[in-house]
Each structure stands twice: as C-alpha cells, then as structure tokens.
Amino acid sequence: MTLRFGENARLELRELLLKKGQEIATKLTDLLSGKKLDLTNIDRIADVTPGMRAEDRLRAYLSFLNDKRKLLDDDNDAYGRCSECNVDLGLTSLREMPWADRCQDCHG
C-alpha cells in the first residue's frame, strides 16, 4: 500500500496536530479555571457557530483537531484536501497549518 504522505511527513504532521491540541487544551483549562483569555486569534473552524460560548468553541476546536489527526493516522485521502473543492493543500502548506481544511480560494 502506498501512503499519501511518507512516514516522516506523517509523523511530523501528527506531532504538529498534537502540539496545537495541547495549546488549545491548555487554553480550555485556563478558561475553566477562571482566567480571562483573548480568543480572537483562535483559528476559524467549521463547527463554531455565532454566539457559541468560549469553552464550547475550544472543545469544538479540540474535536476538530482530533478528527484531523484520525484522518492522517488512517491515511484517509480527505486529510490535506480542501473540504470544498478537493484540491490538494500540499505538504508545505500543511507543515505550516496541519489542521487546514480549505484552500486559500475557498477560505475566502
């Protein structure tokens, strides 16, 4: 079986996804402990709806990252492709943002 990404690239992308997940989990922990956080720079994710509580927004982000990791681990061809037009996002772009789910054209 041929993997879409080589083993080294898969490990690198997985580590980056886990690192981002840890960052978001820490923000959630801080928020739940009463710390005031500026979440305006949190990346846009598909499952966030207007008016969503900050803690629910962070939980949705963690779920989103976990789903991306599962796709990568399963070598699912959907990982690393635009969810709207199916274009390959490319390894270089994924190394910068391994949780990306849309190309620049579809991201708007």
User: Which DSSP state fits 43?
Assistant: P
In a domain, 27, yes or no: yes
Whether residue 21 is contained in a domain is answered as yes
Q: Nearest CA to 95 among 1, 2, 3, 6?
A: 6
In a domain, 69, yes or no: yes
Q: Using CA atoms, how far apart are residues 103 and 108, in angstroms rounded to an integer?
A: 9
Tally of domains within the chain? 1
Q: Considering the domain boundaries, does residue 97 fall inside one?
A: no
Q: Is residue 104 one of the residues assigned to a domain?
A: no
Domain-located, residue 53: yes
- Written as one letter, the residue type at 61 is Y
Q: What tens digit of pLDDT does each residue of 68-105 get?
A: 999 999 999 999 999 999 999 999 999 999 999 999 89
**pTM for this structure?**
0.88
- Is the pLDDT confidence value at 1 over 80? no
- 108: tokens are 């708007």
- Domain ranges, residue 66: 7-36+47-79
